[in-house]
Amino acid sequence: MFKRIERKDGSVIILAPKKDTKAATFEILFKVGSRQENKKNNGASHFVEHLMFKGTERRPHTVDISRELDGIGADYNAFTGKEYTGYYITADSKHLPLAADMISDMIHNSKFDPKEVDRERGVIVEEINMYEDNPLMHIEDVFEMLLFDKSDLGMSIAGPRVNIQTMSRNTLYNYYKKYYYNGNAVIGVAGKFDEKQALKLIDKLFPVGKKQARVKSKKLATFKQASPRVKIFKRDVEQVQLMLGFRSIASVKKEFLHNQLLANILGGTMSSRLFLNIRERKGLCYFIKASLSGYTDTSGFLVHAGLNKEKIYEALEAIKKELNDVKYKGITKEELQKAKDNIRGRTILKMENAGAHLNFLISQEFLQKEIKDLEKKLAELDKITLLQVNKAAKDIVDWKQSNLAIIGTFENKNKFLNILKK
């Protein structure tokens, strides 16, 4: 159960009460991420997110923010993606006014102190280093740079080091002013709260302003690819990271759920095809999974595996066989039902958490402009047919459109390309 309220300035409020909890979550998301950037300011969205925690007039230093929230045992953080940036605080429901006040203060009154800006450059560069030193985490960036090459989706969320080291304080502040306005925001409250008090709090701390013209959205991504592509990020590691995938339909389309079922059947569980055949029966990897990265105008359908470098060619051959099997032979009724039951069960369990429920609703607001409750989503899941999922497999698996990213000691792409081409 939820309530959506659109205000005169274009901002949206989403209320998701939950009776059987003593906690409340306050969250705000802005429609800004690395997709809104260009090569010169790539990394600005993530940099601005960091600066929101670096002090306001009332709370001059980072420690003033963290000490106040730590003092009530709150769970708080922020995140930057390719299409939106969010901030949240979850705490004992009696501290909801503090949570809302804190986020309002950070969003409206962050100082962008030049000294803090310069200090944070080093922090973000170390964050980039951390990701690059962890192949399990970094492989997704390498893969999406290849999959979405020459588009705004192909840019790194963190940005290149040179941008982080050289972007001026004014560049960052102007970027913040351009995108952090009410009409570009969704405000959410979930958990235990009184609706009238919550709305009064929001109106006080996020007052309705003048309706601004929305910043124009980027053009839809278009891609041309006539043959398989391989990208190798050379790193001396014992376990090679491999990510193989294809572009597919936008996450806003109803057929996206067909793709989710296909990914679940292929590599969503420990009883999935890839896990059983590649890991358990052949012993070619430690872990393997299939998943989706969904955006407003496209998506990635991917297989991710951690492999012994001596077995990578054999593993790639085996993964290709599994994908061809699902393309040409299809899935069974039993597999489809098990996948539906698995996704249904996971979704229901996830929605037990008020914060997760709120994200479920807000992400729909941003990506689809239509919010469906859990029951509607599950009803859609139940209606999907074997024919629809088998069609998804045929549409997705196209080896001319395949993309392979690898983190390991390899230098020659040709052997990989030969496997993908044959």
Same domain membership, residue 368 and residue 329: yes
Give the residue from 205, 238, 272 where a domain finishes: 205
Same domain membership, residue 180 and residue 126: yes
Which structural domain range is residue 125 located in? 3-205
| CATH code, domain carrying 267 | 3.30.830.10
Provide DSSP, 163-226: HHHH--HHHHHHHHHHH-SGGGEEEEEEES--HHHHHHHHHHHS---PPPPPPPPPPPP----S
Split into its structural domains, the chain has a count of 2
Residue 214 lies in a domain: no
- The pLDDT, as a whole number, for residue 367 is 77
Residue 104 lies in a domain: yes
- The pLDDT, as a whole number, for residue 123 is 97
Give the residue from 147, 171, 205 where a domain finishes: 205
Same domain membership, residue 243 and residue 389: yes
Sign of CA dihedral 376, 377, 382, 385: positive
Residue 222 lies in a domain: no
pLDDT, one tens digit for every residue, the chain (422 residues): 899 999 999 999 999 999 999 999 999 999 999 999 999 999 999 999 999 999 999 999 999 999 999 999 999 999 999 999 999 999 999 999 999 999 999 999 999 999 999 999 999 999 999 999 999 999 999 999 999 998 999 999 999 999 999 999 999 999 999 999 999 999 999 999 999 999 999 999 999 988 876 676 666 677 889 999 999 999 999 899 999 999 999 998 999 999 999 999 999 999 999 999 999 999 999 999 999 999 999 999 999 999 999 999 999 999 999 999 999 999 999 999 999 999 999 999 999 999 999 999 998 898 766 898 999 999 999 999 999 999 999 999 999 999 999 999 998 999 999 999 98
Same domain membership, residue 361 and residue 308: yes
- The pLDDT, as a whole number, for residue 222 is 79
Same domain membership, residue 314 and residue 243: yes
Q: What is the DSSP letter of 15?
A: E
- The pLDDT, as a whole number, for residue 291 is 97
Same domain membership, residue 103 and residue 250: no
Matching residue, tokens 């102007």: 174
- The pLDDT, as a whole number, for residue 217 is 65
Give the integer Cα–Cα distance in Å for 352 and 375: 14
- The pLDDT, as a whole number, for residue 218 is 67
HEC-encoded secondary structure of 56-70: ECCCCCHHHHHHHHH
